[in-house]
Amino acid sequence: MKGERLIRLSTAAPGRDSTPRTEDVPVPDNARSSPVGPWWRTVVSVWLFTLALLPAAGLAADASAVTNGVSVVLAVGAPGEPEYGSNFVQQAQLWLRASEQAGVAATLIGLDDASEPTDRERLRTALAAEPPDGTDPLWLVLIGHGTYDGREARFNLRGPDVSATDLAEWLKPVRRPLIVINTASASAPFLNQLSGTNRMVVTATRSGSEQNFARFGSYFARALADPAGDLDQDGQVSLLEAFLSASAGVREFYQTEGRLATEHALLDDNGDGRGTPADWFRGVCVVKQADAGKPVDGARAHQVHLVPSAVERALPPEVRQHRDALEREILRLREQKSGRDETEYYRDLEKLLLELARLLEANSVSKTDASPE
């Protein structure tokens, strides 16, 4: 229907007591696409010859393609107080708009009037219905309050809550890229439980003891479509950029209010279950090192975008995967620079950058050809 879009709303099926179903619900189409900007990647700027190639390059695939394989599951928790409820609804609306821009059908749980089945059961069913394999990511977003009793962290739903242990069990079959964003208070233990290979986890807090209302989620949802969140000016906001922008917003809020910060967000994308705070970054670059040379988070999250630019959408999946692998290899090499022979380091760096430049050149056309009509 013109002027409307569809979201998937998890509801109880008419005439049934416990079997949830997913239905398409029309929603007014009021989202606007973000502009296409420069698309070169920050890491390639190390070398001038690569910089000379990228600004004029576009991509040779069909730019009208959308990320239909990407899935977004939004779970909105019990508000408790009315003001929190309106905040959670606003966050959900921003996520739905971003999903629409990306061409993704979002499954929304927690904002309807049905009481059966429970939201916990709907969430479990929605996750079980998602394909476990593939290259397109599954996004799971938790908007609400959380608790931690010293043993188990929980996300507060209407009715029975869902624990970090529950989600870890439900998500075991998922082998495709998985992105979990828990914007609730006391959410850090979810990072410890859900971290793993091919997974990216963001939490609003750094420990279960940070149990005051978390403002991180509001800033994160706004950053998804905010040009100011595009820190590297490539025409799209990555998961890392949204994390950094939201963290900066939270920090500014507490400074302006003259209050002690009661939330400190973490990002994990290397599977070690430790997480990295925003103050380890300057721009999108890591400026600190982990203990014993352990890898720092951020590289993979900077390659993931819920709303990719038109140029990014046009890049064939296999080329995008190859490019991402090369960029991660370049970053790993740069992290090892201090312990490497200088001549050997620059030889290996030149080899990787030349391979990246050739890959992009072979798949490039003008930006005009890559832009949507």
Instruction: Kindly report, residue by residue over 124-167, the tens digit of the pLDDT.
Output: 999 999 999 998 999 999 999 999 999 999 999 999 999 999 99
Q: How high does pLDDT run on average in the chain? A: 80
Q: What is the Rg, in whole angstroms, of the alpha carbon atoms belonging to the chain?
A: 21
pLDDT at 339: 78
% of the chain exceeding 90 in pLDDT:
55
Taking CA atoms, 296 is separated from 21, 124, 176, 206, 355, in Å, by 41, 32, 22, 16, 24
pLDDT at 364: 73
What amino acid occupies position 134? G
Helix (H, G, I), strand (E, B), or coil: what is residue 343?
helix
How sure is the predictor about 348, in pLDDT bands with cuts at 50, 70 and 90?
confident
Spatial CA neighbour of 270 closest among 290, 287, 284, 250: 290
Q: pTM for the whole thing?
A: 0.76
Domain ranges in the chain? 4-27+66-314
Q: What is the mean pLDDT of residues 332-341?
A: 78
Report the alpha-carbon distance of residue 78 to residue 93 in Å, rounded: 16
Helix (H, G, I), strand (E, B), or coil: what is residue 321?
helix
* Second-level CATH architecture of 4-27+66-314: 3-Layer(aba) Sandwich (3.40)
Q: Which residues contact 347 (CB under 8 A, 6 or more apart)?
A: none
Q: What is the mean pLDDT of residues 159-178?
A: 97
